């Protein structure tokens, strides 16, 4: 097994462990059913920018599965798949904006890339949680009730602040510890 591949595997695993820890460690508590703002996206975004989007997706997948094992919130078979492995794996897509050449590493370009990557990841995650919410709530709520509306407001209420918090932390990390985010 090539050196960098093994290094990447182990780094992804360790970051997934931190993701698992951060996911049960709320910075702000919002809702009783797990809708709290946590730093869970930070390690996934970090891996995605450090090692590329494939590593990021792998890390997200692991964080989702760990989260599922630690505090399962199970309502519907499709909901379990979408809410845990799929939505967290989507966070790794932030790595699509990883800077590849030296000139892309200037402060301004980097800030833009971080922002685009994290917003994209947050958006895809929101869409997946939204679909999942519509599916499971649709299976339980009365016909006259709109699951889409509920799902939209519930999910945006914590994903939006979480994306903001992740963005702030990632920007601060790149300023204060650039070698963590961008492997020299």
Partner 1 sequence: MSRLNHPVIGQYIPADSFLHRLDPRAKLVFVFVFMMIVFLAKNAAGYSLLVGVALSGVLLSRIPLPMILRGIKPVLYLIILTALLHLGMTRGGDVWWELGPITVYEQGVVQATVISLRFLILVLMGTLLTLTTSPMELTDGLERLLCPLTRVGVPAQDLALMMSIALRFIPTLWEEMDKIMMAQRARGADFDSGHLLRRVKSYIPVLIPLFISAFRRAEELALAMEARGYRGGKGRTRIRELRWKKEDTILLVVLAVLSISLWWLRG
Residues at the contact surface with partner 1, assessed by CB under 8 A: 1, 3, 6-7, 9-18, 20-21, 25, 27-28, 32-34, 39, 42-43, 46, 58, 61-62, 65-66, 69-77, 80, 139-145, 161, 165, 168-169, 172-173, 176-177, 180
Report the helix count and the strand count for the chain, using DSSP H and E: 8, 0
Q: b vs e for 55-74, b when ≥16 Cβ sit within 10 Å of the residue's Cβ?
A: bbbbbbbbbbbbbbeeeeee
Residue 32 or 100: the one with the smaller Cβ distance to partner 1 is 32
Considering the complex, what minimum distance in angstroms separates the CB of residue 177 from partner 1? 5
Considering the complex, what minimum distance in angstroms separates the CB of residue 103 from partner 1? 26
Residue 66 or 82: the one with the smaller Cβ distance to partner 1 is 66
87, 85, 79, 171: which is closest to 122 by C-alpha? 87
Residue 72 or 101: the one with the smaller Cβ distance to partner 1 is 72
Considering the complex, what minimum distance in angstroms separates the CB of residue 57 from partner 1? 11
Residue linked to tokens 């809708």: 35
Contacts of 93 (CB under 8 A, 6+ apart): 48, 53, 56, 57, 117, 120, 121, 124
Considering the complex, what minimum distance in angstroms separates the CB of residue 75 from partner 1? 6
Helix then strand then coil, % of the chain, to nearest 5: 80, 0, 20
Considering the complex, what minimum distance in angstroms separates the CB of residue 109 from partner 1? 22
Residue 23 or 101: the one with the smaller Cβ distance to partner 1 is 23
HSE-up (13 A, CA, CB side) for residue 138: 11
Residue 156 or 177: the one with the smaller Cβ distance to partner 1 is 177
């Amino acid at each position: 097994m090539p050196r960098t591949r093994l290094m990447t595997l182990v780094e992804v695993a360790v970051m997934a462990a931190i993701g698992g820890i951060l996911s049960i460690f709320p910075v702000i508590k919002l809702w009783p059913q797990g809708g709290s703002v946590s730093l869970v996206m930070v390690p996934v975004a970090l891996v995605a920018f450090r090692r590329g989007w494939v590593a990021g997706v792998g890390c997200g997948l692991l964080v989702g599965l760990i989260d599922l094992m630690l505090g399962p919130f199970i309502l519907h078979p499709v909901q379990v798949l979408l809410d845990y492995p799929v939505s967290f794996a989507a966070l790794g897509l932030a790595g699509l904006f990883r800077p590849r050449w030296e000139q892309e590493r200037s402060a301004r370009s980097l800030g833009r890339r971080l922002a685009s990557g994290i917003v994209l990841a947050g958006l895809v995650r929101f869409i997946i949680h939204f679909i999942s919410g519509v599916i499971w709530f649709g299976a339980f709520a009365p016909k006259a009730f709109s699951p889409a509306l509920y799902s939209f407001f519930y999910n945006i209420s914590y994903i939006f602040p979480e994306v903001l918090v992740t963005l702030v932390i990632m920007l601060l990390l790149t300023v204060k510890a650039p070698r963590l985010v961008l492997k020299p």
